[in-house]
Amino acid sequence: MFIELKNITKVYSNTDVTSRALHDVCLKVNKGEMIAIMGRSGSGKSTLLNIIGCLDKATSGEYILEGMHVNHLNHKQLAKIRNQKIGFIFQNYSLIPKYTALENVMLPLLYRKMPYKECKKLAVEALEKFDLIDARNKKPHQLSGGQQQRVAIARAIVGEPEFILADEPTGALDQQNGQDVMLLLKNLNRAGKTIIIVTHDETIADYCEKRIYMKDGTVVG
């Protein structure tokens, strides 16, 4: 099993309020699957994605990634998994405004302390895959929404991650650009990438082979 979640619970607490974001969530993901996690706002789907992406830790339960018990890893080990095994795509693109498209795509490789020339070569190749080479020296504000999301996808795949997590990847795009982005993700899946997408949109989920429905922090179907 590639990804396995066993009885995952996430509780947020402060002095006044305790909030249960996830309760007893179980999920299995095989390598090469493309899965949609669906549910209304507040259903827990983004919290679940953050735990799968090692951006947050479960309060209880087990997260097993390729045989590793993620719950037992320290911050440095989690950062290494995020950098080397996971590609992230966010609704708001999360590009760094002061960097060019090329520099944004190079970042994950630079964090690995890879030689600069090799980082640049691989980033150029990633941009070429998504027809963005002419935009390589432009900064995010000089790009359309569709171009920014394609840069974000290039950044997500440049380091050859084991899997890709996408949180509402078409939420800020018009219909045509949204379809273009989903076709890019579908093609990556056909090439063997495991992809997990959080969405509330049935048309986006149609691109996936499996759907996980969430309500009130639990998987309901």
CATH number, residue 62 = 3.40.50.300
State mean pLDDT over 110-131.
95
What pLDDT does residue 139 have?
Answer: 97
- pTM beyond cutoff 0.85: yes
Q: What is the pLDDT of residues 44-70, one digit of tens each?
A: 999 999 999 999 999 999 999 999 999
Measured CA to CA, the distance from residue 17 to residue 125 in angstroms comes to: 49
Non-local CB neighbours of 66 within 8 Å, separated by 6+ positions: 2, 162
Residue 197, burial from CB neighbour count under 10 angstroms (0-12, 13-18, 19+): buried
Cα distances (Å, whole numbers) of residue 5 to 1, 57, 150:
10, 12, 30
Measured CA to CA, the distance from residue 112 to residue 82 in angstroms comes to: 11
Overall number of domains in the chain: 1
Measured CA to CA, the distance from residue 18 to residue 16 in angstroms comes to: 7
Contact 87, 159 (CB under 8 A): yes
pLDDT band for position 14 (cuts 50, 70, 90): confident
Q: What is the mean pLDDT of the chain?
A: 94
Range of the domain at 136: 3-219
The label of the residue with tokens 């990438």 reads: 193
